[in-house]
Amino acid sequence: MTEPMIYIDGDFYAKSQAKISVFDHGFLYGDGLFEGIRAYNGQVFLCREHLDRFYDGANCLLINLPLPKRETRAVLYECLKRNNLKDSYIRLIATRGIGDLGLNPRNCADRASLICIAASITLYPEELYRKGMKIITSAVQRSHPECLNPRVKSLNYLSNIMAKTEAVNNGYEEAVMLNHRGEVAEATGDNIFIVKNGTIKTPPPSAVILEGCTRNCVISLARKAKYELREETLARFDLYTADELFLTGTAAELIPVTACDGRNIGNGKPGPVTLDLLKKFRQFIKTYKDKGV
């Protein structure tokens, strides 16, 4: 089997040769950011939305990306082509670049490093979409937005990893994190939605969430289908008493949740609104055409 080809700063390297410096500040300090993007049938799904978030995040972190958006988009497609992939999970990463052992970003090259990996997809088993997953709320709090704003998809995912570990160690698939005010924020790699009395609700960006591309896509599909949908502050109580609960994210797409902290959600089975939105989302993917940035 031929090795996957990885893009690093303008060149492609076989996986076993694709290496970055131990002096890269992405490695030393988590000084960088990333995107997880899907390609379906050769189209980079929600390409503009992912690149907009990537460039906004870089701007927040004062990271000077090496390429204009249009050329970064071309890198995504080149990665698919070199790896002969039409359906893929693409990881786009920018780091502050190579520096010294000090924190000061000025001692790094003025240009960020850009890395792109196109992998074949590992899907959750289809059974999980039919049965739904069981989740917990985590003791690990979402970081305060004045420390490290989770709206930037930075290379610092330790609190998410600690929350995910708590879930996995206790036999659950996912954990929901609460923000510094004790409100529901999001899962470790997914946004959260509930359905209550026919209304779909999801926390607003001010709840300290990553504004997911899948989240925004599902919101617009739900509104187009005339569902009532509100961005609203949610408490743990709202999760426990929801009729339906589901998560959205690039990797999971849209996945039903049937229990939270040991409480069944609704009747403990994926609900009709969730299943309808999952169907609509999958239909949207099938007909999706990337129109550029």
Quick one: tokens of 132?
């739904």
Report the nearest approach of ligand PXG to the CB of residue 4 (Å).
16
Q: Interface with ligand PXG includes 57 (CB under 6 A)?
A: no
Closest by CA position to 39, among listed 94, 78, 69, 95: 78
The residue with its CB nearest to ligand PXG is 212
- Any residues with CB less than 8 A from the CB of 230 and at least 6 apart, and which? 199, 200, 201, 202
Q: Interface with ligand PXG includes 221 (CB under 6 A)?
A: no
Quick one: tokens of 116?
């792109």
Report the nearest approach of ligand PXG to the CB of residue 157 (Å).
7
Q: Match 């890269």 to its residue by tokens.
A: 24
Report the nearest approach of ligand PXG to the CB of residue 210 (Å).
4
Stretch touching ligand PXG by CB under 6 A, among 12-20, 61-69, 125-133, 188-196: 188-196
Rule CB under 6 A: which of 196-215 touch ligand PXG? 210, 212-215
Which member of 31, 173, 174, 190 binds ligand PXG (CB under 6 A)?
190
Q: Which is nearer to ligand PXG, 60 or 103 (CB)?
A: 60
Q: Which is nearer to ligand PXG, 24 or 186 (CB)?
A: 186
- What is the edge-to-edge ordering of all strands in the sheet holding 5-8? 11-14, 5-8, 113-119, 88-95, 32-40, 43-44
Q: Which is nearer to ligand PXG, 188 or 266 (CB)?
A: 188
Q: Which is nearer to ligand PXG, 109 or 161 (CB)?
A: 161
Rule CB under 6 A: which of 155-174 touch ligand PXG? 160
CB atoms within 10 A of CB 166: 18
Exposure string (b/e) for 19-38, b if CB count within 10 Å is 16 or more? ebeeebbbebbbbbbbbebb
Q: Which is nearer to ligand PXG, 186 or 266 (CB)?
A: 186
Report the nearest approach of ligand PXG to the CB of residue 37 (Å).
8
- Any residues with CB less than 8 A from the CB of 120 and at least 6 apart, and which? 85, 87, 88, 89
Q: Interface with ligand PXG includes 250 (CB under 6 A)?
A: yes
On whether the CB atoms of residues 194 and 234 are closer than 8 A, the answer is: yes
Q: Interface with ligand PXG includes 251 (CB under 6 A)?
A: yes
Stretch touching ligand PXG by CB under 6 A, among 57-65, 80-88, 243-251, 272-280: 243-251
Which member of 57, 132, 189, 266 binds ligand PXG (CB under 6 A)?
189
Q: Interface with ligand PXG includes 36 (CB under 6 A)?
A: yes
- The footprint of ligand PXG (CB under 6 A) covers 36, 160, 186, 189-191, 210, 212-215, 248-251
